[in-house]
Amino acid sequence: MNEQHAALCSSAEWGDHLATVLVPWAIGDDAQPLGDDVLEIGPGYGLVTDLLRPHVGWLTAVEIDRDLAEPLAARLADTNVTVVVADAAALPFPDGRFSAAASFTMLHHVPSLEHQDRILTEVRRVLRPGAVLVGTDSADSPEFRAFHEDDVCNPIVPATFAARLERAGFVEVEVEAGEAGTRFRAVTPS
């Protein structure tokens, strides 16, 4: 992440946006509960982690960047959160472990569509039958790309993302593009 991007992603302003816009938009008021054992992909600085953890039994946050994961693990020691340093395309968990999964504004940091698809397939593998995946990603624009100068910037395409989730094995797929970006929700077959 470039300096400007890192500053925003760790800011109180971004945390407020997550709390008041993105997380409620993705999860919704009438959404099924996330359950007792939730997986978060790409927590970064842990701002979504902080929003999710009071509402779940246990939260496992998988972060590929050790420089982000280690301080997050230290900050959340002795809580209901475990931080694991791993590539989400090769999750170190058994099939069907998690009651739900969340991925907020991180897929555009994944360098290729193929790698994103491997992540989606792995998330599907580790979810229980009937479990939900919820998340968001940012909208593509010239300004968004400029903000990611010297960063990986590979945003999802809303028009094709539902089919990609279905290929990964999800059903009841919903993808919606809006001013805040793209939100998605999908369920594992029962």
For range 105-130, the mean pLDDT? 97
CB 39 within 8 A of CB 128: no
**What is the C-alpha to C-alpha distance for residues 52 and 22, in angstroms, rounded to an integer?**
12
Residue 165, token pair as written in the block: 């989730």
- Superfamily for domain range 3-187: Vaccinia Virus protein VP39 (3.40.50.150)
Q: Please enumerate in sequence order all residues whose Cβ is within 8 A of that of 19, keeping only pairs 6 or more positions apart, or say none.
A: 51
For range 37-57, the mean pLDDT? 95
Give the pLDDT of residue 31: 47
Give the pLDDT of residue 120: 98
CB atoms within 10 A of CB 105: 24
Give the pLDDT of residue 118: 98
**What is the C-alpha to C-alpha distance for residues 152 and 16, in angstroms, rounded to an integer?**
24
